[in-house]
Amino acid sequence: MDNNFSEKDLQIMKERNISPSLLDKQIQNYKTGFPFVALSNPATVKNGITQLSTKKMDEMVSVFEDFAAENKIIKIVPASGAASRMFKNLMEFRNAYRGTADDQLELLKDKGPDSVYYFFEHLEDFAFFNDLIAALENRGHDYETTMKEVRYERILNSLLTNKGLAYGSKPKALIPFHKYSNEIRTSFAEHLAEGAKYARSAGNTCHIQFTVSPQHLDMMKEHFLELKELYEERNNIRYEVNFSIQAPETDIIAVDMDNKALRDENGELVFRPGGHGALLKNLDDLDAPLIIIKNIDNVCHERVNNDTYYYKMLLSGYLVHIQEQVHSYLKGLDHPTLPSTKVVSHMWSFMEKKLNVIPPEESSSWNKERKISFIKEKFNRPIRVCGMVENEGEPGGGPFWVKNSDGSLTLQIIESSQIDLKDEEQVAILNNSTHFNPVDLICGIYDYQGNKFDLQDFVDRNTGFISTKSLEGQEIKSQELPGLWNGSMSNWITIFIEVPLLTFNPVKMVNDLLRSQHIDMS
């Protein structure tokens, strides 16, 4: 070990199931950084992103429906994020606003759709409006008078703090998103409603797992119990909802700017969450032949949801279709007699055109046995089918062809932080990207013999993220694990399918709830 860890340090590591050698590795990562990926080309509809015909799409939906009738499906929703970022601009305004005329002119001069001004102008359109009025009244304030007197700090205190609704510290899953004629739905509730449409398993059961922060676990469980009976009766389904937390062993040591392990005021090591890559363990703990991943804030009003249902089933059906072919080939390769050259050629073509694996250039000189070995390696992996949306400025990792250490090319979802932005050639490839991934993934985690893969075996450990943060006024470094749909799935079979933008409706800022896809138009 390079670092001098005390007995207390070692005890804390033991409690977290973190080895000293792993901490040494994390600190070494801070010192050396992570290598950039080697982009070869952007994935486009002409090269890497599949566009399906209407007939093929309908066929894949039917494949999924047949599969779902006899198999278990799990939908996993990363939902550990707090809503504080959603209300960031309102919190900043609240801290600066003093109610003076100058404040009103300066702080409310921006009247764009993302502005605080726009928030107050459309306050009555939010699903949480009636709850806000009640919170104000509980504090002895009248809404009409408060607005007339431009006492916006009262509104925000009632909305964001423990004086009222405390949305600033609640999980995003529990924020009211949408109004209906007979109810208000949180994003959590929308995922229950969605799941009944496209994640209905054998036995008429909908299995959903929400990943949550420990401090939010009880309130999330309570919210589900409030909804369970109503939603089961309404959707004629039985919900099996589970909650998992990010394992402490996935946290990562923080360091100062000199790469020394950071300690708090009590001298204890400071650990920080490892980012969404930490959820690979949560995913690895699931046991089902098909898993759907969708973010907590990517939901829309039910009136515009039919396309979401359709394309989720389409992506799922395509995974089942491809997976059956892959497993059939692998079972054939288990036969003691080597396949014919013609059959190997057919599998080679399938690998390139359907599984998006381009072998290294020298493979043209390989003999049949070497090619079969390569095919087995590339076929016997977890599979992910990812929806890809045309890029119109929304956030999300991009689809690219990436060169691997063995010389092969495969499809990957890459964030800009993984790219060397000082390399003009790499930047040109980045700028020619046409699509992005809205965290719309279908996963197959069983091998051809019906056994679960150990997903940790398919992580690219050379990927990760290092960023600079501020902790109590001190500048520190923070590190994240290989991203769940980036480095953590780097060695999966990867397939990109084009889906329409209307299937992507994230709520990153509170004003996003004023977009048409989140409003009740009835």
At residue 202, the pLDDT reads 92
Q: Do residues 21 and 1 touch, judged by C-beta distance below 8 A?
A: yes
At residue 407, the pLDDT reads 93
Share of the chain above pLDDT 90, in %: 78
Share of the chain above pLDDT 70, in %: 98
Indicate the Cα dihedral angle 242, 246, 250, 251, nearest 10°. Answer: -170
- Mean pLDDT, range 295-323, rounded to an integer: 96
Q: Do residues 22 and 269 touch, judged by C-beta distance below 8 A?
A: no
d(CA 331, CA 252): 40
pLDDT in tens, 19-48: 989 999 999 999 999 999 999 999 999 999
Q: 329 pLDDT exceeds 50? A: yes
**pTM of the predicted model as reported, rounded to 2 decimal places:** 0.93
Burial group, residue 455, by CB count within 10 angstroms (0-12, 13-18, 19+): buried
Q: How far is Cα of residue 219 from the mean position of the Cα atoms in its chain?
A: 22
Mean pLDDT over the full length of the chain: 93
Amino acid letter, residue 514: L
Q: Phi/psi at 393 (nearest 5 deg)?
A: 95, 0
Higher pLDDT: 264 or 229? It is: 229
Alpha carbon distance, N-terminus to C-terminus of the chain: 65
Name the least confident of 131-145, 192-206, 318-332, 470-484. 470-484
pLDDT band at 266 (very low <50, low <70, confident <90, very high): confident
Q: Do residues 135 and 159 touch, judged by C-beta distance below 8 A?
A: yes
pLDDT band at 1 (very low <50, low <70, confident <90, very high): very low
> Which residues lie across from 388 on neighbouring strands?
498
d(CA 239, CA 194): 12
Give the residue from 461, 465, 468 showing the smallest Cα distance to 480: 465
Name the least confident of 203-207, 384-388, 395-399. 395-399
pLDDT band at 104 (very low <50, low <70, confident <90, very high): confident
| Domain ranges (residues) in the chain | 88-169
Amino acid letter, residue 412: Q
Mean pLDDT comparison of 267-271, 404-408, 511-515, highest-scoring range: 511-515
